[in-house]
Amino acid sequence: MITAVIKTILLFGGRSAEHEVSILSARSVADAAPKPRIEIVPMCIAKDGRFCTPERSARILAGDDKSERGDADFSFETWIRGQAPDILFPLIHGSGGEDGTLQGYLDILGLPYVGSGVTASAVGMDKAHMKHAFAAAKLPMVESVVVQDSDWRSERERVTRAVNNALRLPYFVKPANSGSSVGVTKVKNDEDLANAIAFALRFDEKVLVERGIDAREIEIAVLGNDKPEASVAGETVAGREFYDYADKYIEDKSQLVIPAKLPKEKVEETRRLAIAAFRAIGASGLARVDFFLERGTNRLYVNEINTMPGFTRISMYPKLWEATELKYPRLIERLLELGIERSKARAERWTSSMRWFDEGQSLVSS
């Protein structure tokens, strides 16, 4: 365990549809982080993609300022060089934060951060690529069809036939790169398919059409790097027909049941598959893996993995770990430790590779 104070840059906001959710997550972390052990420095990315000053970021986090526009005269790269942080916690959900782009930027700057790297973040965010990774790992999934925007515009009839031939109603239509159920529609008849695809294409250039099943929604939290651990299982009981954005963040009618009422063998199967999904995309730090447990057949399907899940006190990820006897403040601390551990391992590997390169160059010159 790290004993010194951990100086942490708390990144939040971003340009995605989940901007407000990110602020809520960051506010919870800032309030709960053990003050003697963790020094929090807020840093907001406004909705226009620009960084805000630390002072303004603190006001935004407190709810005393708006985050529509960043500060044009503020340079994050100049500022961060004078900070010497131990770790960054990029609590930015969705595109531009959870999809590998932010992780790549931080890698270029040589900054350590919590969570998965570029590849795992990108694969975990893109549901089509995620399913390819899961298929390679032989994980059970519901059948689906990928629809590209260009194909939909030029070959709509062919695409519609492909969906009808591969799947049976109802369908779930969702953007391939989105989170918090943004852009998701349940389609009960073929006449509504076109509108559902058009709606999902507002959020991404690629759409996933999945066979809808009557199922319970089970979730597992995963924590760790090389040796990930799985939490107890939880269940989301939707307050609407399915667990959409309004149900998650507006109407608040859904229920989280922790631990989920499952037979012991089904819980163990779910935990095993969660770790397999985590490893299938090469994740690190944290992730939440979501499952469908089909009613009637009792079959378990991996739905998706979220490499930066919601992180408020009432979010499923921290609540699952609290039920697994890892309290919210300690969970925050553990994630920072895992990020530092991963950063040090990567730095050692880079140093080793550069030493090999330098030795090779010296042999060539001699």
Residue 179: partners with Cβ closer than 8 Å, 6 or more residues away: 16, 18, 93, 94, 98, 125, 306
**Residues 6 or more apart from 12 whose CB is under 8 A from it?**
22, 23, 25, 26, 42, 43, 44, 45, 61, 91, 92
What is the spatial distance between Cα 168 and Cα 214, in angstroms, rounded to a whole number? 13
Helix (H, G, I), strand (E, B) or coil at 76: helix
| Crossing angle of the two packed helices 328-365 and 19-32, in degrees rounded to 10 | 100
**Quick one: pLDDT band at residue 18, thresholds 50, 70, 90?**
confident
| Confidence band for 353, pLDDT divided at 50, 70 and 90 | confident
Confidence (pLDDT) at 182: 78
CATH no. for 6-115: 3.40.50.20
Start-end of CATH 3.40.50.20 domains in the chain? 6-115
Report pLDDT digits (tens) over 168-194: 999 999 999 876 577 899 999 999 999
pLDDT of 1 > 60? The answer is no
Mean pLDDT of 253-265: 91
**277 near 94, Cβ under 8 Å?**
no
Q: Is this structure's pTM higher than 0.75? A: yes
Fold of 143-211: Dna Ligase; domain 1 (3.30.1490)
Q: Calculate ∠ Cα 27-283-254, nearest 5°.
A: 50
Of 290, 303, 331, nearest to 25 by C-alpha is 331
pLDDT at 363: 60
Better-scored residue on pLDDT, 177 or 231: 231
Give per-residue pLDDT as tens, 43-83: 999 999 999 999 999 999 999 999 999 999 999 999 999 99
pLDDT at 40 over 80: yes
Summarize pLDDT for 189-215 with one digit per residue, the tens: 999 999 999 999 998 999 999 999 999
Rounded-to-integer distance, Cα 239 and Cα 168, Å = 25
pLDDT tier for residue 103 given thresholds of 50, 70 and 90: very high
pLDDT at position 183: 87
Asked if residue 196 lies in contact with residue 187, where contact means CB atoms within 8 angstroms, the answer is yes
Angle at 5 between CA 10 and CA 39, to 5 degrees: 30
86: DSSP letter: S
Residues of the chain with CATH 3.30.1490.20: 143-211
Whether 90 and 9 have beta carbons less than 8 Å apart is answered as no
The per-residue pLDDT for range 76-90, each reduced to its tens digit, is 999 999 999 999 999
Residue 316 pLDDT:
95
Cis peptide leading into 36, omega within 30 of 0?
no
Model confidence band, residue 100 (pLDDT cutoffs 50, 70, 90): very high
